[in-house]
Structure 1
Amino acid sequence: MLRSQPVTTALKGLVTLWLLGVVVAMFLIVPEYQGLGNTGRIIMVHVPTAWLSMLAFSVAAWQSVQYLRRRRVEHDERALAATELGLLFATLATLTGSMFAKVVWGAWWNWEPRETSILILLLIYAAYFALRSAIDDAERRRQLAAVYALFAFVTAPLLIFVVPRLYDTTLHPNCAFLPGSKCDGITLAEGRVGDLGDNILELRAIRREGDLVTAVVAVRGTGGAAPVIMEPSYNVATRTQVATPAFEGSRFMLAIQGVSDQGVRLNIQAPGNTSQRNATTTLTLLASLLGFTGLFVWIYALRSTLLSLQRRIEAQGWS
């Protein structure tokens, strides 16, 4: 134990310095996201906290299985500690996502599929603590909490990864900010209508002036508001986008990705899609994921130890 103490202290210091380095890189090295400025840097916190919530819930489920198999109290304590951290990281992911939504989509909350699913997940895991506080008998509380944690974990990947992808209408375009991701987009001919993200598009006309192709698009949100005319343009000779107007109340843009005999291919483009390909941005995001993972291990071990200490104190009859 004495020999491991210096090693543990050194690891804690390394995690602290690593996260400080990530913060410095976020603001001084990573380039700003076009059209978003410093707001785009939220992704360096939003993505790690979202993934760590899944890691924490996975640990809670595993420790719950171990408790049901062995009936050892320390497994219940570890499951409780992991669930607390999972709820904390999921809340942080929701708050950072809400701040991002305010800047990009114009509202703190939009009730789109991903936002709604994470809220449901928060409520499911909040009920875990309500269940524990409602049962006085310790053994029964631990057993029921372990069973509930397993059922709750089954819903986690469904709500985070599956359910949002069942909906075509979502404010989260697949191409937003993550390196290597893609948006499918839609190809429309004149007079045709299609869904793109959370918008309904009608291609009213295609104008050609030499190599420049301009699409006249009527964009209507799912709320039924009057359509807004947007006119993205594309140079067919250089295969480059010329005009990429922003959606009303949003900083995401409508862009033409190509022109063919079938019409024009329209897609959502994130304001930060240029800086997202920067190697520094990618490395900083990976470093942030690693640093937050180290932070999770640190806090998880500390919280588990405190719960064990609290149990021992209570067993001695101390208040």
Structure 2
Amino acid sequence: MVTAQSRSPLSWVPRVAKVGLTFWMLGVVLAMFLWVPPYEGLGNTGRIVMMHVPTAWLSTFAFAIAAWYSIVYLRRRQARDDDRALVATELGFLFSVLATVTGSMFAKVVWGSWWNWEPRETSILILLLIYGAYFALRSAIDDPDRRRQLAAVYALFAFVSAPLLTYVVPRMYENTLHPNCAFLPGSRCNGITLANNGVGQLGDQRLQLLNVERNGDLVTAVVDVSGVGFSNRTTLRPTYNRATQRQVDTPNFPDSRFMLALQGVDETGVQLNIQAPGNTSQRGNVATRTTLFASLIGFTGLFFWVYNLRTTLLGLQRRVEARGLA
């Protein structure tokens, strides 16, 4: 029996941590809607990034923990290490699903479609299928020791794909709809330079420069724009002021809130780029980055709380089953 005298002097820490985590996440939610300004052209939809980015990062972190404890299990052959690997994989899968759902919500508003087979969308879908097979493998094997061993080996091979599919493969495509380079103000994407009648691609949009109109310092590019299979074909006319070196008009792509920007003109042609809606104030930048960082800390704390709780429950379940067989 545990008495007041035998309790650890730090037994209050977990309870305080849980209360602190609750208020921390509440503060993050309040900051999302009360401190972070609405994104230009996106309104409240842009705030979902505060949830999307941390869940995407934590999914890779969770899969890394699963790989680590898989190695530990293969060395020590202790069931508790398999429990830790399993729980980390479960949470990694959950965070991947959350990242996919929040990303799809953002895509619906910005790109006009829930799913676009964009490189990052496709890569995270493949990642979900890979780790979905992990759970299928575990459920297909009855022998506990063999199940744990094969699951540990599979988790190691699966983790090799996690950073590749999340960070490497999507960045191999310069023209991507994913707003990693255009979402925050002041950032730049890798645009394209087109001469007259030149053809190029930004994201999934095909561009052809039809003409360049000049009126004093103002330069307007007449661009034929179309989606996959020449869908939503239209003509856009982005304008650039050579004197101030600023965009004057950035028209939207068809059925999208992303814009076509003319960023410069020289003897080789015009420089065109994709531009995302975003905050224009420095306060917006500070609020966005601070809240994003706070959200990452909060989700990390939530991860460890659920991780410890689930691992403890699996250990209790295993001990109850062992007593039942005794």
* Cα distance, 1:199 vs structure 2: 1.4
Q: Which residue of structure 2 aligns with residue 254 of structure 1?
A: 260
Letter in 1 for 2:258: F
Q: Which deviations, in whole Å up to 9, do the C-alpha atoms of 1:145-164 show, x marking residues without a partner?
A: 00010011011111111222
* Cα distance, 1:226 vs structure 2: 5.9
- Selected match of 1:201 from 200, 207, 212: 207
Is the contact made by 1:216 and 1:232 (CA closer than 8 Å) also made in structure 2?
A: yes
Q: Are 2:8 and 1:5 aligned?
A: no
- Mapped to 2, the partners of 1:178 and 1:146 lie a distance apart of 40
Q: Which residue of structure 1 aligns with residue 4 of structure 2?
A: none
TM-score, length-normalised on structure 2?
0.93
Is the contact made by 1:185 and 1:266 (CA closer than 8 Å) also made in structure 2?
A: yes
Q: Which residue of structure 2 aligns with residue 39 of structure 1?
A: 45
- Mapped to 2, the partners of 1:278 and 1:171 lie a distance apart of 22
- Mapped to 1, the partners of 2:135 and 2:232 lie a distance apart of 45
Q: Which residue of structure 1 aligns with residue 319 of structure 2?
A: 312
Q: 1:46 to 1:10 in 2, by over 3 A?
A: same
Letter in 2 for 1:17: F
* Cα distance, 1:180 vs structure 2: 6.7
Q: Which residue of structure 1 aligns with residue 286 of structure 2?
A: 279
Letter in 1 for 2:162: A
- Mapped to 2, the partners of 1:119 and 1:170 lie a distance apart of 16
Is the contact made by 2:185 and 2:280 (CA closer than 8 Å) also made in structure 1?
A: no
Q: Which residue of structure 2 aligns with residue 242 of structure 1?
A: 248
Q: Please show how residues 135-214 of structure 1 align to structure 2 within 5 Å.
A: 135-178=141-184, 181-214=187-220
Letter in 2 for 1:136: D
Identity of aligned residues (%): 68
Q: 1:180 to 1:5 in 2, by over 3 A?
A: farther
Count of residues in Structure 1 that have an aligned counterpart in Structure 2: 318
* Cα distance, 1:191 vs structure 2: 1.7
TM-score, length-normalised on structure 1?
0.95
What SS class does the counterpart of residue 115 from structure 2 fall into? coil
Q: Which deviations, in whole Å up to 9, do the C-alpha atoms of 1:175-221 show, x marking residues without a partner?
A: 23247753010111222111222112111111111111111001122
Runs of 4+ residues deviating >6 angstroms: none
| Structure 2: tracts of 5 or more residues without a match | 1-6
- Mapped to 1, the partners of 2:41 and 2:232 lie a distance apart of 26
Letter in 2 for 1:166: M
Q: Which residue of structure 2 aligns with residue 131 of structure 1?
A: 137
* Cα distance, 1:54 vs structure 2: 0.4
Is the contact made by 1:31 and 1:275 (CA closer than 8 Å) also made in structure 2?
A: no
Letter in 2 for 1:248: P
* Cα distance, 1:167 vs structure 2: 3.0
Is the contact made by 1:105 and 1:250 (CA closer than 8 Å) also made in structure 2?
A: yes
Q: Which deviations, in whole Å up to 9, do the C-alpha atoms of 1:3-39 show, x marking residues without a partner?
A: 3321111111111111110100000000111000000
Is the contact made by 2:232 and 2:254 (CA closer than 8 Å) also made in structure 1?
A: no
* Cα distance, 1:222 vs structure 2: 2.6
Q: Which residue of structure 2 aligns with residue 66 of structure 1?
A: 72
What SS class does the counterpart of residue 4 from structure 1 fall into? coil
| Structure 1: tracts of 5 or more residues without a match | none
- Mapped to 1, the partners of 2:134 and 2:281 lie a distance apart of 41
Deviates more, 1:147-156 or 1:7-16: 7-16
Q: Which residue of structure 2 aligns with residue 20 of structure 1?
A: 26
What SS class does the counterpart of residue 272 from structure 1 fall into? coil
- Mapped to 1, the partners of 2:166 and 2:188 lie a distance apart of 19
Is the contact made by 1:169 and 1:199 (CA closer than 8 Å) also made in structure 2?
A: no
Is the contact made by 1:33 and 1:275 (CA closer than 8 Å) also made in structure 2?
A: no
- Mapped to 1, the partners of 2:11 and 2:52 lie a distance apart of 32
Letter in 2 for 1:288: S
Deviates more, 1:20-29 or 1:112-121: 112-121
Q: Which deviations, in whole Å up to 9, do the C-alpha atoms of 1:254-291 show, x marking residues without a partner?
A: 00112222222110000115368621111111111111
* Cα distance, 1:109 vs structure 2: 0.9
- Mapped to 2, the partners of 1:292 and 1:179 lie a distance apart of 25
